Amino acid sequence: PICTTRIVAGVGVPQLSAIMSAVETASKAGVSVIADGGIKYSGDLAKALAAGASAAMIGSLLAGTDESPGEVYLHQGRSFKAYRGMG
């Protein structure tokens, strides 16, 4: 799931703009930026890195892998894995 804070709270800026702004400010202090939120697809990760983030949190992209913990559930013929996280 994508980050819904902006939609629910009615405040905030889109993730790409937030990353670019954070990178601009953080780079003046020699600090790296880790993007966290709004990364649902591999293209979202590519955009975050292209916007200047040094890394990104991608828990939901990895949550369904065999290596991740969690119980697998079968729903309407499809397998899903439960995980804890935002969204």
Which pLDDT belongs to residue 62?
86
Task: Render pLDDT for 33-86 as a digit per residue (tens, 0 to 9).
Answer: 999 988 888 999 999 999 999 999 988 888 888 898 889 999 999 988 888 776
- Domain residue spans of the chain: 5-81
pLDDT category of residue 29 using cuts at 50, 70 and 90: very high
Distance CA 87, CA 17 (A): 20
Single-letter amino acid code for the residue at 34: I
Which pLDDT belongs to residue 2?
55
Classify 38 as helix, strand or coil: coil
